[in-house]
Structure formats: structure tokens, C-alpha cells
Amino acid sequence: MTQDNNTLVDVQNLSKLFPIGQGVFKQAESFVHAVSGVNLKIKRGESVGLVGESGCGKTTTGKLLTRLIDPSEGNIFLDTDEGRVDIAHMRGKEMKIFRRRVQMIFQDPYESMNPRLTIYDTVAEPLNVQGIGTVAEREARVSDLLETVGLTPASSFLFRYPHELSGGQRQRVAIARALVINPDFVVADEPTSMLDVSVRTGVMHLMQDLADRFGVTYLYITHDLAVARYMCDRIAVMYLGKIVEIGNTEDVLQHPKHPYTKALLSAVPVPDPTYTREPILIKGGISRPVDPEPRCRFYDRCPLADKICEGNDHPPLEDQGGGHLAACYHI
């Protein structure tokens, strides 16, 4: 892909290694390669889905993008008013300013709010910490946003505590909180997976609606392909810290290239008892990527694995046409 002005987030060769058995006086013996060499471009206004099974590094990628944890390697470029800035190595005051541009929505609406703070305090916290506006302005902004996310009338929610709200209402509060300082980029870490199915679509619809209204770019982290299909323009499939396939949602879901994506799709239940589908068998379960061998990460479980895969490093992401990239030697 060429460098164009429309790119908001440009992740280059991002890696995170977690040491194992490290102590104060002890060197780490081995490392978990939670995220290794991830490249990802996200255009302004686009929603990108990051899918994969548990433990594949989706959440770590999200935390790296919001700088909750420091990357071991690589760069994250964010397009701002002052041009492209690398947020991977930011510190101090610069970092605090950066916090205004990137926000996160958490998975569990029951744990992502301090039980001792009122809804107002929770939603106004970013404004408070960043020192934006006077108290009256903050209050107006918070009640405005609460109405926007569908908690009406705002005055009846402002001074309640989180435990007085339902799960869906709490997630709406979490969305309001993420959007209160007008961020450009929001990482949503499975925002609907803890919700009842009945309120799930409501929250997803709200998020899309807000994306259009405020021009927010989302990175959706999810393991639910149906959610990803509903919400995202593009999908990136992750396996053991690597992106194995990325492309437009319909391309990836209708014509999967990578054997892992095919297996993932075959695991989605179809609500039709007469439908038969060729099962794609993959062996074993996901393992911890502790000091992985320098070969395809999917080698151990792949039905297509052969000598080429064993002898070579992890395959690069190659364009299969129309911006659909896959990392496999057998395509």
C-alpha cells in the first residue's frame, strides 16, 4: 500500500514480548511473543475488526495501540493535526496530550467503572484529568453525551452509581466516557460480548451511529465473526501474535484464503439443520507462543503444512488482489 493522507493509524512491525520467570535479580529465561511483527493501516473513518481465538494477542494489540503497555519493538504512527507522530515511544506530557486522541471501550461494563464514583464522575474523568473546560461546561458536556448514547433524561442518570444501572446502560456510559474528549481513534475491546443478545444490537447500532456523527475510527477486537461482519469495513485475522489474513469484510468471510480463517469460519454455527459443510480439521488447540520456532506460526495445526512451511520463516502478508492480504505459502 502506498502512503496516503487518509491513513489515521499506521502500525509498523509492532511486537510485544512478555518475559517469563523474570525477577528483580533474575534475567528472563524465555519470552511469550504475544504480538510479533504486526503491520496494520487503518484509514480515517473506517472500522477495522481484529478477530481470532482466545490468547492470540488481540487484546495485547489493543493495549499497545492505547499505550497501556509499552511495545517491545516497532512504531505506531498516528495522524494528528501536527502531522504523523510516533506514539510507540512517547513519554510524559506528550503522552498526556496523545491520550486525548485515542480512547478505549472495555469488555466488561461491570468492572470498567469505579463503583465508588457516580456516572458523572466516571464520564467526566477524562475532561477532569486533561483539565478541559470549567465544571459547568463539563457537566453540560457530560449530560449532552449521556443523552446522545440514549440515557435519557441525563439528569436522572448523572448522579447514580454504576451498580444501579443494567449492563447495557453501563456499556452506554462506557461509550459516552470514551467519546467525551472527542477522540479520533477508539479501540473497542469486545464491547458487546458481555451483553445480553437483546441489547447487543442496540449498542452496536449506537456505536456505528456515533462513528458517523463524530467521525470516530474504530478498531474492533472481537471473537464473534457475526459482530465483526455487522460492524467492520475490514477484518484482520490474528493467530499467535501475527496477522494471517486481512481484507474487506465480505472478501475475507466469503472467500477466505488462509487455512486458519477457513477453519475459523467453519466453526461458526449455521442456523440450518439441513446444511452440510465440509469440516476443516485443524489439529490440537492454541498454544502459548513461548519462543516460537522461526517458521509459520500455524505450522503445527495446519492441514496444508509441508516442507516449504517447515523450512521457511513465517510467510509474509501478500496481496491476493483487491487489498486482500494473506500470509501463507500455499495460496
Partner 1 sequence: MSTISSPVDATYIPLWRVRLRLFWRAVKTNWAMFAENPIGLFGLGLIIFFGLFALAHPILISTVWEAKIYDPVNGFDIEIPYHPSPPSAKHLLGTDPMGRDVLSQLMFSTRYEFALGMISAIVTVLIATSIGAIAAYYGGITDILLMRIVDLVIMIPYLPILIVMSALMRVGMIELALFIGILSGFGGTAIVIKSQALTVKVKPYIEAARISGGGDFHIIFTHMVPNLLPIALLYMMFVVTGAIFSEAVLSFFGLTEIDMSWGLMINTTQVFGYIMRFDAWYLLLPASLAITLLCAAFYMVGRALDEVVNPRLRER
Residues that bind partner 1 (CB under 8 A): 24, 63, 66, 68, 95-96, 99-100, 102-104, 106-108, 111-118, 122, 125-126, 129-130, 135-136, 139-140, 143-144, 147-148, 152-155, 158-159, 177, 181
Give the angle 151-153-157 at the CA atoms, nearest 5°.
65
For 88, the grid coordinates are 510507540
Shortest CB 35 distance to partner 1, Å: 17
Shortest CB 36 distance to partner 1, Å: 23
Q: Given the complex with partner 1, which of 53 and 121 has the nearer CB atom? A: 121
Sheet strands (E) in 44-101: 47-51, 73-80, 83-86
Shortest CB 63 distance to partner 1, Å: 8
Quickly count: other Cβ atoms within 10 Å of residue 65's Cβ.
26
Shortest CB 219 distance to partner 1, Å: 14
Q: Given the complex with partner 1, which of 181 and 265 has the nearer CB atom? A: 181
In angstroms, the CA 246 to CA 294 distance is 22
Q: Given the complex with partner 1, which of 18 and 260 has the nearer CB atom? A: 18
Q: Given the complex with partner 1, which of 86 and 111 has the nearer CB atom? A: 111
Locate all alpha helices (DSSP H) within 101-214, ordered by sequence: 119-130, 135-148, 167-179, 197-214
* First-to-final CA distance of the chain: 20
Q: Given the complex with partner 1, which of 116 and 307 has the nearer CB atom? A: 116
Q: Which residues pair with 41 in a beta bridge?
A: 10
C-beta of residue 49 within 8 angstroms of C-beta of residue 232: yes
In angstroms, the CA 95 to CA 290 distance is 31
Helix (H, G, I), strand (E, B) or coil at 35: strand
Q: Given the complex with partner 1, which of 50 and 146 has the nearer CB atom? A: 146
Q: Given the complex with partner 1, which of 130 and 266 has the nearer CB atom? A: 130
What is the residue type of 257?
Answer: K
Shortest CB 235 distance to partner 1, Å: 24
Shortest CB 145 distance to partner 1, Å: 9
**Residue whose C-alpha cell is 494477542:** 57
CB neighbour burial string for 22-36, b if at least 16 within 10 angstroms, e if fewer: eeeeeeeeebbbbbb
Shortest CB 237 distance to partner 1, Å: 25
In angstroms, the CA 4 to CA 224 distance is 31
